[in-house]
Structure 1
Amino acid sequence: MATATNSYSAADIVALEGLEPVRKRPGMYIGGVGSAGLHHLVWEILDNSVDEAMNGHASEITVTLHKDGQTITVSDNGRGIPVDKHAKTGKSALEIVLTVLHAGGKFEGKNYKTSGGLHGVGASAVNALSKHLVAVIRRDGNQYKMEFSQGKPLGKLQKAKGTFRGSGTTITFTPDPTIFPRTEFNPDTIRSRLEVTSFLHRAVKVNYSDEVNNKKETFFHENGIVDYLGKVIEERHARSIHEVPFTLHKNADERLEVALKWTESTDEHVRSYVNGIPTASGGTHENGFRSGMSKAIRNYFETHSLIPRGIKISHEDIREGVVAIVSLFVPEPQFQGQTKDRLNNSEAQSIVDNAMRAALEQWLNNNTSLAESVVARIIASARARAASRAASESVSRKTATSRAMLPGKLSDCLSAGRGHSELFIVEGDSAGGSAKQGRDRHYQAILPLRGKVLNTENATLKKVLDNKEIQDMVTALGCGIGKDLNVARIRYERVILLADADSDGHHITTLLLTFFYRHMPALIADGRVFIAVPPLYRVDIGKETFWAADEAARDQILANSSKRDKAEITRFKGLGEMMPKTLWDTTLNPATRRLLKVEIDDQLETDRVVADLMGRDASARFRFIMDRAEEAEELDV
């Protein structure tokens, strides 16, 4: 434990030099050291190659995931990083780029009209966080090589003998295991990013060599984001209501590309990019897109007197079912943080707003049959939203703070304030009975559910709110649902999903997660949703008792035990057959239980997986099962 001291002087001030700040606080530069941060290393190097292509200096990019699964090579046929001596330092420009923060050729705007990297941090941050990095440069008929470890040069810049054709940059790196808990890259994550890159930069050929799975692919899409839009709609299993997409191509100092369709889906799905960088948290360009779209639709409705009597058209009605790709290229992007997931340029909003409004309004007027289908879709949405609003208000009236209005099945905790209170959403009345007896009633509340809840993936909000089990959950939580959700009003500090440890229990947990993800996502974002991990097996060896959550844990316990003592294994059929004290000891007691916090690392990937596994299209689930059939060691049927 650190000891407090009253002395505080210049000796206590630490001045980090070179790339030490990156290694000391990697989260500031790559967002964290989890999976997202690990893959961000690849994106930083890839984006530098894309910048060369974006400015007309490269036509091909090749990415290789090597057999160890931990080493990446990114190569392009661009101009190659300069290798001549830097006037101020006397070092090669290559060494400066890879070892000095905020060093690069993108500050003055002379060499790159648009680019994803403007801070001169990406390549040097990757170098700092790599166990080993090798840079190979081809320029002016020569080839140069320099190696680094943890950001420090292992030697001087080496010039190879002979004459070499072409030009370009090749970076090979292996993440540092002392920084990252896991250094294995996900081949599918890299593949997905490369494919998106080829959609956004249609003049660029992107090659991917996955040596882990012995696969090679080349991505090249002449139709750019129009092809991308089709792929996204297919992935989401969303049926389009019109065949021809709206497209916008605006070329000026700020290049803008937009492709969108209205679908039968009940939500809006926008994927936005700035200079080829995905902006998962949106920003001013997304705001401009939504504003321009709403203005164009409203103008069309008003010009043609299409609003039915008694119906109010809202922004939500206009955007419901929209699937869109928005790609903006600007000379000086102002991103929020080094991970670049949000654009802050104030002028981008008006640029996209004006362009979007004019182009979409013209498209509607020139395509009356398509416009009619869009108008019908929006009016249907407005009618459904009005019905849902009435149902939502009915549920909201029941969420008053008065305990008398709470669901009858809820066994609430005695604590009046939220404090450290917990709501366990439990599978079945039998399990609920054991949980009620075993809990600490001062701060733990129990809400049993009957059977499997509604699959809310493709259900309308009205259908969701008509479901009794979901009504009870919404009422018990007291914070509203959908756009009316207010996390500050929630009645409990934590929401814990507690289901049996078997396949049926996992299915129920998945259904509940789908509901929270689609209709109460703010609770997940606020870190309030957890999954309890009850035991599936009790293992008695001699006088000791062990608990195992699955077969792997059971086998590990047996492997670690003495063979002299006979093991007695009990498999629980469900939580309901556990004694209350056993349930407390294994699953409810904060000192001994195991909870999994529900977090979303990759919004787009999460959305795709939920749509695949819970959507109407059974073929996506079939493919998922068949692709992983060999991984199944034991079926619970």
Structure 2
Amino acid sequence: MSTVAKEYSAKDIVALEGLDPVRKRPGMYIGGVSAAGLHHLVWEIVDNSVDEAMNGHASEIKVTLHKDGQSVSVSDNGRGIPVDKHPKTKKPALEMVLTVLHAGGKFDGNNYKTSGGLHGVGASVVNALSKEMVAVVKRDGIQYRMQFAKGIPQTKLQKLKGAVRGTGTTITFSPDPTIFPKTDFDSATIRTRLETASFIHRNLKVTYVDEVQGTTETFQHEQGIVDYLAQVLKERSAKPIHESPFILREDNSDRLEVVLQWTESTDEHVRSYVNGIPTASGGSHETGFRGGLTKGVRNYIDTHNLTPRGLKISHEDIREGMVAIVSIFTAEPQFQGQTKDRLNNPEVQPLVEGAVRPALEQWMNNNRSVADFIVARIIAAARARAASRAASDAISRKGGSKRTMLPGKLSDCVSGGRGESELFIVEGDSAGGSAKQGRDRNCQAILPLRGKVLNTECATVKKMLENKEIQDMLTAIGCGIGGNVDLANLRYDRVILLADADSDGHHITTLLLTFFYRHIPQLISDGRLFIAQPPLYRIDLGKETFWAADEADRDRILAEYTGRSLPEITRFKGLGEMMPKVLWDTTLNPATRRLLKVEIDDHLETDRVISDLMGRDASARFHFIMDRADEVEVLDV
């Protein structure tokens, strides 16, 4: 360490003036000099034009990406930036707006009721970070022009010859390559932002000219965020569970617009905006929206006593599958930083919550059939989340005692990789013996189960994980359970349920389906769970043999038979009495078998049916039987 300290005095203190702070530390103003920062320049200029439209002074905005791909023009038909001289500085107002930080018309609240620009730095920041900027203003029938480079005026304010109609502002700029590593704009990014602006600001006409691609598009939406929601659902391939969305439009001291729909998706998706500015990090308006949503739905559920006994519904369950657009316009927004990606106004939260809760509750009460369908979806999410959480907790408690050896009853296939391998979960040891002898050992594994498996809809997770048959299935399949499911660890390409073709076999298949639906639903959604279709009847017609899956299939075959010999019909008591070759030919052979892929078209209906038929509450089954008792033709007891 040096014994002589370096002198540190007043002359070492640097005071940056004008726009120098922006060029020295651009990240403070635009978040960085990456692609996001580069495009933020466009957003700053576009937002100024949108502010004119938001306050009723403009109806059209035009953005042009020029042929070089590195320069952009933004035009509007607003009032035009003032050009008269400022009383204090004696400089044209246009020059002040574009060269002085914190100079603008949005501080006194007289010219702009609401705006995205608040700090008076946006346009001047863009000017500072541009190698060239040209501003053209139309006011009072005259067109004015002023040119800048790196924030420094290159010309005085010029009056262009010839009279012009209308008013407005056009800003053309080219980012400075000494500031930005890459100065090529991405057309798709600009297009998306402009289309979003047309959604948020109803009836605003936004034109985008891409001279690089030679295309021109105009965006204008009468329904605003309602149209936006429809597009977001389409982009996300999210299928709504109800037709008409919830719409809230309030225009009091602050203007609030909300639109939402529940979908079949398992995630929540909210896009929020403040004065037209996207707030990717949310803020107090999003918090208020979520609070109002949760309370409104809870109030409806409690009022109508719709919560199943013993089931706790969380806010995650209520918001699962929800897609929403939230837009608020407020006079004094407090953003987190110049990039404005989060709203910090504490007073906005109760305002939004107080508007959303009663409106949503009233909408649900006025649309009972839709509301009950939404609640059914929420209950299904709560059940699935509870099962997943309980299974994960139970597995965590087991710790290092988890089974690592494959079950002894499993006859695994020879193939080491997953490839085209199949695991047959077979009803009974007898059927398992026939399947083991008849299978293709290279790619087909057999796991026999003993009798009827546990009804996991009624059993606790602890009891389920202690069940030997469940343990064997989980170990053989290998992908985990509940929140720990990882299909990358799945040991087989397909899992096939193979039970007798009679009513007992169908019951066993239903018990297994209940287990997979509740605890490993990913097998179903990924298209890896199947049900084998073994024959119930063998029908010999002369020299030909037919296999019938059930009575209807048997009757169809007999009806189509035109020969003279009497048919010989054999009904199988179970898979165990089939010869291995017969089981191979009818059920195991990929070339001749019939497999039924397990798919879910309606998650809500599936959840309801499983809950009614397999759950603890027997009243639903009682009513089902009593309502349909007269439909029974043959009772298999």
Matching residue's letter, 2:306: L
Q: Does the aligned pair in 2 maintain the 1:143–1:159 contact within 8 Å?
A: yes
The CA deviation string for residues 512-538 of structure 1, in whole angstroms up to 9 with x for no partner, is xxxxxxxxxxxxxxxxxxxxxxxxxxx
Q: Does the aligned pair in 2 maintain the 1:203–1:222 contact within 8 Å?
A: yes
**Pairing of 1:202-221 with structure 2 (within 5 A):** 202-221=202-221
Structure 2 unaligned residues grouped into runs of 5+: 406-416, 419-478, 492-599, 601-637
Partner of 2:354: 354
The verdict on how the C-alpha distance between 1:390 and 1:76 changes in structure 2, with shifts beyond 3 A counting, is same
Is 1:340 the equivalent of 2:359?
Answer: no
Q: Does the aligned pair in 2 maintain the 1:284–1:348 contact within 8 Å?
A: yes
Is 1:185 the equivalent of 2:185?
Answer: yes
Q: Does the aligned pair in 1 maintain the 2:103–2:120 contact within 8 Å?
A: yes
1-structure distance, mates of 2:304, 2:278: 37
Question: Equivalent residue of 2:227, what SS?
Answer: helix
Q: Does the aligned pair in 1 maintain the 2:388–2:483 contact within 8 Å?
A: no
Partner of 1:325: 325
Partner of 1:259: 259
Q: Does the aligned pair in 2 maintain the 1:70–1:175 contact within 8 Å?
A: yes
Deviation at 1:325, TM superposition (A): 0.1
The CA deviation string for residues 443-472 of structure 1, in whole angstroms up to 9 with x for no partner, is xxxxxxxxxxxxxxxxx9966622265799
Deviation at 1:6, TM superposition (A): 3.2
2-structure distance, mates of 1:168, 1:119: 22
Q: What TM-score, normalized by structure 2, do the two folds share?
A: 0.64
1-structure distance, mates of 2:178, 2:331: 37
Matching residue's letter, 1:131: K
1-structure distance, mates of 2:63, 2:112: 22
Q: Does the aligned pair in 2 maintain the 1:395–1:471 contact within 8 Å?
A: no
1:466 to 485, 489, 492: 485
1-structure distance, mates of 2:20, 2:404: 58
Deviation at 1:155, TM superposition (A): 1.4
Partner of 1:76: 76
Deviation at 1:316, TM superposition (A): 0.3
The verdict on how the C-alpha distance between 1:152 and 1:265 changes in structure 2, with shifts beyond 3 A counting, is same
Q: Does the aligned pair in 1 maintain the 2:389–2:483 contact within 8 Å?
A: no
Is 1:106 the equivalent of 2:106?
Answer: yes
Question: Equivalent residue of 1:346, what SS?
Answer: coil
Partner of 2:44: 44
Q: Does the aligned pair in 2 maintain the 1:388–1:461 contact within 8 Å?
A: no
Matching residue's letter, 1:220: Q
Matching residue's letter, 1:159: K
Partner of 1:173: 173
Deviation at 1:214, TM superposition (A): 0.9
Structure 1 unaligned residues grouped into runs of 5+: 410-427, 430-459, 473-615, 617-637
1-structure distance, mates of 2:96, 2:364: 53
**Pairing of 1:72-151 with structure 2 (within 5 A):** 72-151=72-151
Deviation at 1:5, TM superposition (A): 4.9
Deviation at 1:363, TM superposition (A): 0.2
Matching residue's letter, 2:188: D
The verdict on how the C-alpha distance between 1:135 and 1:376 changes in structure 2, with shifts beyond 3 A counting, is same
The verdict on how the C-alpha distance between 1:271 and 1:461 changes in structure 2, with shifts beyond 3 A counting, is farther
Q: Does the aligned pair in 1 maintain the 2:387–2:482 contact within 8 Å?
A: no
The CA deviation string for residues 340-399 of structure 1, in whole angstroms up to 9 with x for no partner, is 00000011101100000010000000001110111101000000000111233245447x
Matching residue's letter, 2:484: L
Q: What TM-score, normalized by structure 1, do the two folds share?
A: 0.64
Partner of 1:63: 63
Q: Does the aligned pair in 2 maintain the 1:129–1:175 contact within 8 Å?
A: yes
Partner of 2:546: none
1-structure distance, mates of 2:238, 2:227: 15
Matching residue's letter, 2:146: M
Q: Does the aligned pair in 1 maintain the 2:391–2:482 contact within 8 Å?
A: no
Question: Equivalent residue of 2:375, what SS?
Answer: helix
Question: Equivalent residue of 2:347, what SS?
Answer: helix
The verdict on how the C-alpha distance between 1:355 and 1:11 changes in structure 2, with shifts beyond 3 A counting, is same
**Pairing of 1:607-618 with structure 2 (within 5 A):** none
Matching residue's letter, 1:465: N
Matching residue's letter, 1:175: P
Matching residue's letter, 1:375: V
The verdict on how the C-alpha distance between 1:30 and 1:305 changes in structure 2, with shifts beyond 3 A counting, is same
Q: Does the aligned pair in 2 maintain the 1:44–1:123 contact within 8 Å?
A: yes
Matching residue's letter, 1:259: V
The CA deviation string for residues 47-97 of structure 1, in whole angstroms up to 9 with x for no partner, is 000000000000000000001111000000000000000111111000000
The CA deviation string for residues 574-630 of structure 1, in whole angstroms up to 9 with x for no partner, is xxxxxxxxxxxxxxxxxxxxxxxxxxxxxxxxxxxxxxxxxx9xxxxxxxxxxxxxx
The verdict on how the C-alpha distance between 1:249 and 1:9 changes in structure 2, with shifts beyond 3 A counting, is same
Partner of 2:370: 370
Deviation at 1:161, TM superposition (A): 1.7
2-structure distance, mates of 1:115, 1:347: 18
What is the aligned length? 420
2-structure distance, mates of 1:199, 1:22: 32
Partner of 2:234: 234
Matching residue's letter, 1:85: K
1-structure distance, mates of 2:179, 2:480: 44
2-structure distance, mates of 1:127, 1:470: 55
Q: Does the aligned pair in 2 maintain the 1:387–1:462 contact within 8 Å?
A: no
RMSD across aligned C-alpha pairs, in angstroms? Answer: 2.5
Is 1:274 the equivalent of 2:274?
Answer: yes
**Percent identical across equivalent pairs?**
69
Partner of 2:619: none
Q: Does the aligned pair in 2 maintain the 1:60–1:205 contact within 8 Å?
A: yes
Deviation at 1:150, TM superposition (A): 0.5
Partner of 1:391: 391
2-structure distance, mates of 1:461, 1:194: 45
Q: Does the aligned pair in 1 maintain the 2:260–2:323 contact within 8 Å?
A: yes
1-structure distance, mates of 2:83, 2:391: 67
Matching residue's letter, 2:307: I
Q: Highest CA radius of gyration, 1 or 2? A: 2
The CA deviation string for residues 322-355 of structure 1, in whole angstroms up to 9 with x for no partner, is 0000000000000000000000001110110000
2-structure distance, mates of 1:406, 1:12: 66
1-structure distance, mates of 2:155, 2:366: 64
Matching residue's letter, 2:208: Y
Partner of 1:446: none
Question: Equivalent residue of 2:73, what SS?
Answer: strand
1-structure distance, mates of 2:147, 2:284: 40
Q: Does the aligned pair in 2 maintain the 1:61–1:77 contact within 8 Å?
A: yes
The verdict on how the C-alpha distance between 1:381 and 1:20 changes in structure 2, with shifts beyond 3 A counting, is same
Is 1:27 the equivalent of 2:27?
Answer: yes
Matching residue's letter, 2:267: D
